[in-house]
Amino acid sequence: MNKTIIININSIVFHIEEDAYDTLRSYMIDIKKHFGNTAESKEILEDIENRIAEMFNERIQTGRKEVINLEDVQQVIQQMGRVSDFEESEGAAGGEDFHHERQAGQAPHIEYVGKKLMRDPDDKMVGGVCSGLAHYFGMEPIWTRVLLVVFVLLGGSGVLVYIILWIVMPAAETRADKMAMRGEAPNLQNFKRSFDEEAKNLSETFSGTGEHISRSARTAGNVLSGCLGLIGKMIAWIMLIFAGLNLLGLFIFYVFNMMNFFGLENPMFFPPLKGLSTNDGIIALTFGFLAIAIPFFALFFWLTRILFKTDKLNSYLSLTMFAAWIVSIVGIIYYCIATAQDFREKSTINVQKDIQPQAIYNFAEKDIRVLDASEQDSLQSKFNVQLDGQDLRNYLHRDISIYFESIDSLSQPYIQYSYSAKGRTYQLASERAHNIAYEAIQESSTFLFPSHFLLMKNALDRDQQVRVTVYLPRGARVRLQRSIEPKVRDISYWECLNNYPEEARQQQKYTEWTMSGAGLVCIQKPQPTPKEEEEEAVESKMKALLNEIKDRKDSVIRIGDSDVTIEVKDNSVRINTKKQEKN
């Protein structure tokens, strides 16, 4: 049974055995005697204590080992180095040989260990990420900053990577952290060397400048610093609100799109997801959500740390989020490439159907989503619509175009259907085109075109289209119902409708056309405007007057009750007014 003592190092409480405490106390007394002769000794002693506390904390195992023993203290002293060893090496190096080495520019011996990836607060432009990476990979910070700028220019990905690394990489705040960042062993010798170098740089930088800084300049600097800090906080608050609203919007968007995949349909559905199967769509949606939400969450948490001084995110959670973001980016790239490959080849299947000649060809559209009681039994046989409890919105498509072409007046009229689709291979595209179900139905003299075509076997959307070309003999009369107007191409239905009288235009349910060599031509002639009617009346009066002048030679004709007369004599015409006659 050993007696334990409670000690406090760097605000961390440790239980230590009595003999271990005596050894540690003697070690710290030696250190204070050696470093205590300078005004800056407090700082270096705090750094040494912080390092010792970290090493003790690494040896504590909750539930298994909670007391520091003599062996632990001896191992820490061995790693840190004894003051006696340090004084001997310092004395040897402090002689003429060491002086000559420093004169020749040779650095003293430094013991190196494994490096830690940390941010360098002493060499930073924003957060010290680039300089920390440079220390870790043994390169100049300028090159990591150049690479960051390149990634920013290439789609802005460098900004997201920088923010995530800023959160993941801890800052090298203590002298021990800075030595670990450079790969230097955190022992007494390196602590002393680091401290001497910082003191020397500080003294060279600020030597003689303190006397020239006036109190007014310091006051102005404090005011400017306060103003910049206030502006920075305002910008941080705006960015925090922006990031929070984006996270909320992304979450709502994700939930509502996910509801569509599970049958709870709503208008908030991202169109590109319609081209994927249910399982692939769920995975792709999740990847997209993570790829956008994780950077916004990182920005939100980082701003929260700045504004509210909260603790940093757990390193394991940060690395997990970064890994999830990388996986989501790779997943999105995969689905984009795979889906694009499925649109590589296009196939078209043509089917020709003869139709019966008619005196007047009537064409109309039938909305297959609207059923009459008398049509329920015949709907499946007419339009290939199977009502098996499935939601038809998942099967119906509207990309249908109808054209009219002329053929010889004695030829048999017919309709040509062109079914087209795309796929990874030509064979797959042909199979998808073959699975399109669409055909017009002839009832007496009326041809009913379905409002939608169906994709059999629940096929994916791969740019399926239907082109219908109606070939009619020249001189054939055609009536186009208003319902078919959205699908008719190459003719202006509404231009023909405007030729009808205005009072009957609203009730006009169809337009009449005739087939010419150049295609359909509207039968109804354009209605004249009031100005055109007036011009026609004047033209008719002039024609009548000219005819009268032509029939009456060697005579004088008075125009109405006016003072204007027309004198016809010797094949010449002279117009006189009352004023001219008086003269």
SS (H, E, C) 50-94: HHHHHHHHHHCECCCECEECHHHHHHHHHHHCCHHHHHHHHHHHC
Q: Which residues contact 241 (CB under 8 A, 6 or more apart)?
A: none
Task: State the DSSP code for 106.
Answer: P
Confidence of residue 326 (pLDDT cuts 50, 70, 90): very high
Residue among 252, 269, 440 nearest 361 (CA): 440
Shared-domain flag, residues 434 and 567? no
Residue 137 lies in a domain: no
Residue 179 lies in a domain: no
Residue 18 lies in a domain: yes
Shared-domain flag, residues 541 and 420? no
Residue 101 lies in a domain: yes
Pick from 341, 368, 396: which residue ends a domain?
Answer: 341
Confidence of residue 12 (pLDDT cuts 50, 70, 90): confident
Shared-domain flag, residues 258 and 372? no
Confidence of residue 482 (pLDDT cuts 50, 70, 90): confident
Shared-domain flag, residues 386 and 280? no
Range of lowest pLDDT (259-268, 275-284, 328-337):
259-268
Shared-domain flag, residues 501 and 375? yes
Shared-domain flag, residues 502 and 404? yes
Residue 291 lies in a domain: yes
When pLDDT is averaged across residues 172-186 and rounded to a whole number, the result is 72
For residue 346, give the 3-state DSSP assignment: strand
> Contact at 8 Å (CB) between 396 and 453?
yes
Range of lowest pLDDT (6-10, 88-92, 163-167):
88-92
Residue 196 lies in a domain: no
How many domains is the chain partitioned into structurally? 4
Shared-domain flag, residues 391 and 317? no
Residue 41: domain span: 4-111
Q: DSSP states of 480-516 as a string?
A: EEGGGGGGB-SS-HHHHHTTS-HHHHTT--EEEEEEE
Higher-pLDDT residue of 557, 428: 428
Higher-pLDDT residue of 525, 329: 329
Shared-domain flag, residues 365 and 491? yes
Task: State the DSSP code for 169.
Answer: S
Residue 466 lies in a domain: yes
Highest average pLDDT, of 72-76, 171-175, 189-193, 211-215, comes from 72-76
Confidence of residue 404 (pLDDT cuts 50, 70, 90): very high
Q: What's the CA gap between 260 and 267, in Å, rounded?
A: 9
Task: State the DSSP code for 184.
Answer: B
Shared-domain flag, residues 444 and 575? no
Q: What's the CA gap between 86 and 108, in Å, rounded?
A: 13
Tokens 């033209």 belong to residue: 539
Pick from 59, 83, 111: which residue ends a domain?
Answer: 111
Residue 32 lies in a domain: yes
Pick from 303, 318, 341: which residue ends a domain?
Answer: 341
- The pLDDT value recorded for residue 159 is 74
Residue 533 pLDDT greater than 80, yes or no = no
Pairing mode, strands 565-569 and 446-450: unpaired
Shared-domain flag, residues 367 and 508? yes
Confidence of residue 403 (pLDDT cuts 50, 70, 90): very high
Higher-pLDDT residue of 220, 582: 220
Residues in the chain: 583
pLDDT tens, residue by residue, 243-264: 889 999 999 999 988 888 887 7
Q: Return the number of other C-beta atoms located less than 10 Å from residue 558's C-beta.
A: 11
Shared-domain flag, residues 369 and 515? yes
Shared-domain flag, residues 357 and 330? no
When pLDDT is averaged across residues 541-548 and rounded to a whole number, the result is 68
> Contact at 8 Å (CB) between 35 and 44?
yes
Tokens of 243: 């990031």
Residue 545 pLDDT greater than 80, yes or no = no
